[in-house]
Amino acid sequence: MLIQPAVSDGESRTVLLAGPRAFCAGVERAIAIVEAALARHGAPVYVRKQIVHNTGVVRDLEARGAVFVDEVHDVPAGAVVVFSAHGVSPMVRELAEDRGLEVVDATCPLVAKVHSETRRALRRGSTVVVIGRRGHDEADGIMGESTDRTVLVQDVTDVALLDVSGPVSYVTQTTLAVDEVAAVVAALQSRFPGIAPPPSEDICYATTNRQNAVRAVAAEAEVVLVVGSGNSHNSANLVRTASKLGRPAYLIDDASRIDPRWLDGITVVGVTAGASASPSLVADVVTFLRTLGAVSVHERTVATETMSFTMPTGARTAYSRENASVDGRQMLTTKAAVPNHPS
């Protein structure tokens, strides 16, 4: 039997909500694009890879008629396929065209920006160093801009092993932590004094904001719960960031994954969510914490996000026709009420 976490009689447990948390603009846009494709074409609509790295989002869209596949050759010829928010290589686009697929592109505009930077650097004759995570969908897509003139580095050890000549540029996977990238960039600049940086910051504003927010929460909390899936790099980085501050931190897909023993004797709990996790999952965590005793909920907001991205033309038309789905989305809604949250 699980030990019920102890909170002293008459004392409430404090829950600190990191702000910003949960969905970012690129994730909201990608999910809306799949919904619009379903509204326009009907089920099934095929999606290459997970539209975003969150199992709850994928399950919800599957229930609506989305079919997730690994590659475009898994999609029936002539069918509709959505490219995920993480972007794809030119080869994937060519394969989709060869199969006569109707492509709906949900690539996050900030990821598309990195692809554009990579292509410009390649046209200048540079070898492009991609700072990223091996096997991550986003890094794979960027690397695919050139199979022989891009090279991936994950850390300073990889930089030391680089064997390139001529002009060198670098770009960055958008979901990395600022501090881990800084060390790699410093190593690159030391090895290649003339290396060309991207014209503007590649790390996503939402990634940076969520990392700063979890630092603010971890400074006060005794334990931090991060809502996100195991394959979400930005969610895993939130756990890493809190842990670096000496706080026990746990990555959970949803409230059902919370082990009450983590909270034994804990009076201040930090809660956040990666950019691919639904706000409603955070609300569910707070609801679960209330089953363990009285809870007082407070925000720790470090930034207010106003970024939004335009939908592709066809998807925008279909989505406006299905306007009820904007306000009617439950699990996929932009905002989710936290029970008894102070105004």
Name the residues annotated as catalytic: 138
Strands (E), the chain: 13-19, 45-48, 66-69, 80-83, 102-105, 127-131, 150-153, 168-172, 223-227, 249-252, 268-273, 295-301
Half-sphere exposure of 312 (CA within 13 A, CB side): 20
C-alpha pair distances (Å), 174 with each of 8, 222, 240: 43, 29, 17
d(CA 48, CA 11): 49
d(CA 21, CA 23): 7
C-alpha pair distances (Å), 336 with each of 31, 110, 268, 330: 16, 25, 22, 8
